[in-house]
Structure 1
Amino acid sequence: MDFWPEFLASSWGKEFVAGGFGGTAGVISGYPLDTVRIRLQHSGSGSAVGILRKIIRDEGPAALYRGMGAPLASVTFQNAMVFQIYAILSRAFDSSVSAKDPPSYKGVALGGVGTGAVQSLILTPVELIKIQLQLQDRKHAQSHQQQHHRGPISVAKSIYKREGLKGMYRGLGITVLRDSPAHGVYFWSYEYMREKLHPGCRKNSDERLRTMLIAGGLAGVASWVFCYPLDVLKTRLQAQSQLSPRKYNGIVDCLRKSVQADGYGVLWRGLGTAVARAFVVNGAIFSAYEIALRCLFNNSN
């Protein structure tokens, strides 16, 4: 097997398929915990276990997967682009490294930053729709005669009708601020940890599944801890409904009002849930992606 075949120019089709496997595995494995995280960030009280029990009791287990259609539908394209862009940028930022050798850690980090910025253009509308659905309480909507959305298409149509394309990109600025440095940490941590766990694997790609799971999981944890306060602000900004007056008028205003109301601890609310989810999700993403990619290339040889 050639070294990192995902970097080959002829691998676009396989990139999309392998990226789809990785992203799908990540979304399905971590979505219930993501729903709990979003509600923890948005609410003023409650524990992760308490919110989980309340969702299941009042809305049923299916509510834990509400809004999954939007990220799941876009996951193949999004993940294919993320890995392909990262592959290109990690080389471009440090061209002194031979094509036969793995990218330098400098190239990996800078490539991750650039990848996060580009990904934000795809991710912002998807996460806006997802958050609107995850925070939707069916009983509250019915009792207060609020609009109830049945799925991502309904949310997208409602936002576009009232706010246009600009409304679909509500939260773009905070998403870029969150994802650019976080992806630098993400890819650097993965490459560093896989090499530490299995010396030489960056060059020969012979690491075991256990190495992929642990390195991917730890990379996800590191990136989430690094960007978590920005994620809390992003959730609050994107949770605002176009049907009610805006509570926050931007990133700085959201930060100021959130800290005034709940203290600095609000910026870390739900971190435990996010970290648990990050380990599971990113271990699944990297493992599924690497395994699918290798199967595709082995089958083509």
Structure 2
Amino acid sequence: MDFWPEFLASSWGREFVAGGFGGIAGVISGYPLDTLRVMQQQSISGSALKIFRNIIVNDGPAGLFRGMTAPLASVTFQNAAVFQIYAVLSRAFNSSSQSKIGDPPSYKAVAFAGVGTGALQSLILSPVELVKIRLQLQSSSHAISSSSSSSSSSSSHRGPLSVAKSIYKTEGLRGIYKGLTITILRDAPAHGIYFWTYECMREQFHPGCRKTSQESVGTMLVAGGLAGVASWVFCYPLDVLKTRIQGQTKSSSRKYNGIVDCLSKSVREEGYRVLWRGLGTAVARAFVVNGAIFAAYEITLRCLFSNGSNHTQQYDCPNLSQSQSPKKK
């Protein structure tokens, strides 16, 4: 029973918990937009507004949150692992000969740490996103071009565990990790841009805050939002291909034999614009989600450090009614 108090008293324990809270805030705030993005990427036609109306009419508001259990159930560990791995790698890549004790990691170290973090977290994220995408696409409401409203199949509205078991039964372990390669190709460079942009933007908006941690909550939200937008714009074509690869089942009308085949068929059938379909929705979601993630992470981390008595660095828990978060002692 002494494990959790000791764990939370350590820097690793606090960073892990703060990362979990950040991930939860991100999933809840941006999931409806994520559902619209996935359906736009998979469909042949249909605007975000048309898809939104179709979901509300057929499934009600709950349809926008279908499949959220899978990422929400795993997000505490996944996002906590991301921030923890990033913290470790950013220190490892930082040149000790060029920095003083207490200085934040260099921007170069931040970028390299982000790339490594993105590659490693794909091992966790790929199966979770596979189940999420299957759940989001299984509803008949995403078939926008079809005016017929056929009855739902027996497999409709299954939970994430049921979908995961079905994938494993029909496709094996390889099926569970379908799309892993393209997930790594998407997330490794995207995370490098993600963390680099956040560190640059927070310093730009509030000079010196990387050392003092004095930035306001507004700075966290905007810097985090811009970091998310930058990373999504960079990796979006790969995300479209990933959605299509992971969304296909044995009964799918379209079959792709790998990344190159998916790219070739998608462009040949729908033009190069298909690679950017749903970008507007993704950008809007990215700003909301990643602003929430970084703000929740930073605030939780500082609150946890303010309650610690045996760590060398102490933080004051920020008062959200104030425009500025307090200094690090």
Q: Is the 8 A contact 2:23 2:75 kept in 1?
A: yes
Partner of 2:128: 126
Partner of 1:188: 196
- Whole-angstrom CA distance in 1 between matches of 2:113 and 2:253: 39
- Whole-angstrom CA distance in 1 between matches of 2:159 and 2:72: 13
**Letter aligned with residue 227 of structure 1:** C
C-alpha displacement of 1:163:
1.4
- Aligned positions of 1:231-246 closer than 5 A: 231-244=239-252
Q: Is the 8 A contact 1:142 1:148 kept in 2?
A: no
Specify which of 205, 210, 217 is matched with residue 213 of structure 2.
205
Where 1:300 maps in the other structure, the secondary structure is coil
- Aligned positions of 1:105-144 closer than 5 A: 105-138=107-140, 143=151
Partner of 1:74: 74
Partner of 2:326: none
Q: Which moved more, 1:91-100 or 1:23-32?
A: 91-100
Q: Is the 8 A contact 2:9 2:308 kept in 1?
A: no
- Whole-angstrom CA distance in 1 between matches of 2:136 and 2:259: 21
Change (3 A) 1:153 1:35: same
Cα shift readout 1:67-115 (whole Å, capped 9, x = no counterpart): 0000000111011110111011112122333341000000000000000
Say yes or no: does 1:101 pair with 2:109. Answer: no
- Whole-angstrom CA distance in 1 between matches of 2:129 and 2:117: 17
**Letter aligned with residue 274 of structure 1:** A
Structure of higher CA gyration radius: 2
**Letter aligned with residue 128 of structure 2:** V
**Letter aligned with residue 109 of structure 1:** A
Where 1:248 maps in the other structure, the secondary structure is coil
- Aligned positions of 1:209-228 closer than 5 A: 209-228=217-236
Q: Is the 8 A contact 1:216 1:284 kept in 2?
A: yes
Q: Which runs of 5+ in 2 are unaligned?
A: 1-7, 144-148, 310-329
Partner of 1:5: none
- Aligned positions of 1:32-71 closer than 5 A: 32-71=32-71
Where 1:222 maps in the other structure, the secondary structure is helix
- Whole-angstrom CA distance in 2 between matches of 1:137 and 1:86: 36
**Letter aligned with residue 225 of structure 2:** G
Q: Is the 8 A contact 2:224 2:290 kept in 1?
A: yes
C-alpha displacement of 1:11:
1.7
Cα shift readout 1:32-69 (whole Å, capped 9, x = no counterpart): 00000000000011111111111001111101000000
Partner of 1:177: 185
- Whole-angstrom CA distance in 1 between matches of 2:119 and 2:259: 17
- Whole-angstrom CA distance in 2 between matches of 1:64 and 1:162: 27
C-alpha displacement of 1:244:
4.4
Specify which of 159, 164, 168 is matched with residue 160 of structure 1.
168
Q: Is the 8 A contact 1:149 1:155 kept in 2?
A: no
C-alpha displacement of 1:127:
0.1
Partner of 1:3: none
Q: Which one has a larger percent helix, Structure 1 or Structure 2?
A: 1
- Whole-angstrom CA distance in 1 between matches of 2:197 and 2:101: 21
- Whole-angstrom CA distance in 1 between matches of 2:301 and 2:150: 46
- Whole-angstrom CA distance in 2 between matches of 1:218 and 1:226: 12
C-alpha displacement of 1:199:
0.2
Partner of 1:90: 90
Change (3 A) 1:145 1:51: closer
Specify which of 282, 291, 300 is matched with residue 299 of structure 2.
291
TM-score (norm 2): 0.86
Q: Is the 8 A contact 1:59 1:138 kept in 2?
A: no
Partner of 1:253: 261
- Whole-angstrom CA distance in 1 between matches of 2:151 and 2:305: 55
C-alpha displacement of 1:9:
10
Partner of 1:15: 15
- Whole-angstrom CA distance in 2 between matches of 1:195 and 1:18: 21
- Whole-angstrom CA distance in 2 between matches of 1:98 and 1:229: 40
Cα shift readout 1:4-51 (whole Å, capped 9, x = no counterpart): xxxx99322212221111000000000000000000000011111111
**Letter aligned with residue 123 of structure 1:** L
Partner of 1:277: 285
- Whole-angstrom CA distance in 1 between matches of 2:28 and 2:150: 29
The two structures, once aligned, show a CA RMSD in angstroms of: 1.8
Where 2:10 maps in the other structure, the secondary structure is helix
